[in-house]
Amino acid sequence: MEIPYIGITFIICTVLSAGYMAFQHGVVKTVAVQTSIATTSFIYILTFFLLLAYNKKLYRNKSFRRHVHSLTEIYQLSENIRTGRQLVPVFFLHFISAIVTTIFAFFLFYVPYWNSYWLSIIEIVTNCVGAIINFTIQSAIIYFHPLLNRKATLIFVECLKLLKIKVTAIEQPVNFPRTIDGAVLIKKTTEEANEYFRVLHDSWELTKL
C-alpha cells in the first residue's frame, strides 16, 4: 500500500494555516503556528530531495537495470525522476513563501518599536511578495509540465492570432519515452520494446472497461 506523503503534508499545512487564521490575535500562537508551517515546509522539501536522490541512485544501479526489473519498471522510475525534477521549483517556491510569512510574523509581534505606518508598509510588501511568489508557483507548474506547457503555448498562440500578431509555426515534439538524461529509452528492435508496448496496450484496454 502506497502512502500519499504529499497529500498528508498538504493536509497538515492546511490545518496549520487554519490554526494560524483562528489564533491570529494571539501573539505566541501566531508565531508558533507560522514557524511550524515553515519547519514543515523545510522537512517535506528535504524529504523530497532525499527521495529524488535515492531514485537517481537506484536508476543508475547496474544490477537494477540489468536483469531484475523490466523495461516498464525502469521507464516508470525514470518518469518519477523526471516528474520530481519538474516539482523542484514548485516546492522551493512554497518554502520561500512560508519563510516570507514567518519573517513578517516575527516583525509584526517581536519588534515593538514599529509604528502603525511601518507595519502597514511591511504588510503591503509581504502581500506583494506573496502574490508574486504564488503567481510564480503557478507559472512554474505550467512551464515545467510538458502537457500543460504545450496547451499554454497553443492558447498563447491563439491569443496572438486574435490580436493579429504574426507568429511562426511551433513544432510539437514527439513524446517518446526517454531516460532521465534525455536519451531514447526504447529501441524499436528489441524484445523489451515489444513487451513495453504490450503492457501499455493492456493498461489502455483496462481503462476502457
| Contacting residues for 94 by C-beta, under 8 A, at least 6 apart | 41, 45, 137
Q: Give me the number of domains the chain comprises.
A: 1
Burial profile 80-96: b = 16 or more Cβ within 10 angstroms, e = fewer: bbeebebbebbbbbbbb
Contact 90, 141 (CB under 8 A): yes
Q: Does any domain span residue 164?
A: no
Q: Does any domain span residue 166?
A: no
Q: Does any domain span residue 154?
A: no
pTM score of the predicted model = 0.51
Burial degree of 37 (CB within 10 A; 0-12, 13-18, 19+): buried
Contact 173, 147 (CB under 8 A): no
In the three-class reduction of DSSP (H, G, I as helix; E, B as strand; rest coil), residue 184 is classed as: strand
Q: Does any domain span residue 131?
A: yes
In a structure prediction context, what are the per-residue pLDDT tens digits for the chain, which is 209 residues long? 445 555 566 566 655 655 555 555 555 666 676 677 777 777 877 887 887 788 777 777 755 555 555 556 667 777 777 777 777 888 888 788 878 877 777 777 666 666 777 777 777 887 888 788 888 888 888 887 777 788 888 887 787 777 766 655 555 554 555 555 555 555 555 555 566 566 666 666 555 54
Q: Does any domain span residue 163?
A: no
Instruction: Provide the domain limits for residue 92.
Output: 5-144+176-208
Q: Does any domain span residue 98?
A: yes
